[in-house]
Structure 1
Amino acid sequence: MFAISKYSLLILLLLSTLPLTSSIVIYKGEPNWIKAENRLVEFNDDNYLKGFQVALNVAPDKKSDRLQQLQQEVKNNLAESVSVKIESSSKLDIANASGASYENFKQNSTSFSNVNLSGVTQLNYYDEKKQTLYCFAYVKIDELLSSNRQRIQEANKKISALKDQIENYVSSENIIAAKKSIRKVIPVFREVEELYSVSIILGDKVDLNYDEFLKNQTQIEQLTIELSNNQIASINDLATDISATINDQIEISKQTLTIDNFTFEDTKMGSKFSRKLNQLLLSKFSTSSKFKILTGADTQTKYTLEGTVWEEDHTLRVVSILRNKSNGAIEGGSESIIAKDNLNTTTYKPDNLEQAKLVQELMSTDQKLSSGLSLDVITNKGNKSPIYEGGEIMTLYVKVNRPCKVRFIYHMADGTKVLLLDNFSIHPDEVNQMVKVSQQFECYPPFGVETLQVFAKTGVNFNPLNTTEDQGYYFINDDIQTINSNNRSTSNLDDSEVAFSEKRVVITTLPSN
Structure 2
Amino acid sequence: MIKKAIFCGALWLMCSAQSALAAYSSIVEATGESCEAEGGDAQRLQLALTDARRNAAEALQTSVDSYSKMNNYVVVEDLIESYSNASVETLDVLSRRLQDGCLTVTIRAEVTPQKNIDQQFVSEELLADPTIPLTVKLWLSKAQYTLGEQVSIYLKANKPFFGRLVYTMNDGTQVQLLPNPYRSENHFQGQVLYTVPDAKDSFLLEVTPPVGVEQLTLYASTHPLGELQKSPVSGMYLINNSQTSSDVRNRTRGIKIKAVNPPTAKTAAPQTPPEVAEFAEVSADVVITR
With the length of structure 1 as denominator, give the TM-score of the two structures: 0.29
Q: Highest relative contact order (Cα 8 Å, sep 6+), 1 or 2?
A: 2
Comparing both structures, which one devotes a greater share of its residues to strand? Answer: 2
Comparing both structures, which one devotes a greater share of its residues to helix? Answer: 1
- Decide which structure has the larger Cα Rg and report it: 1
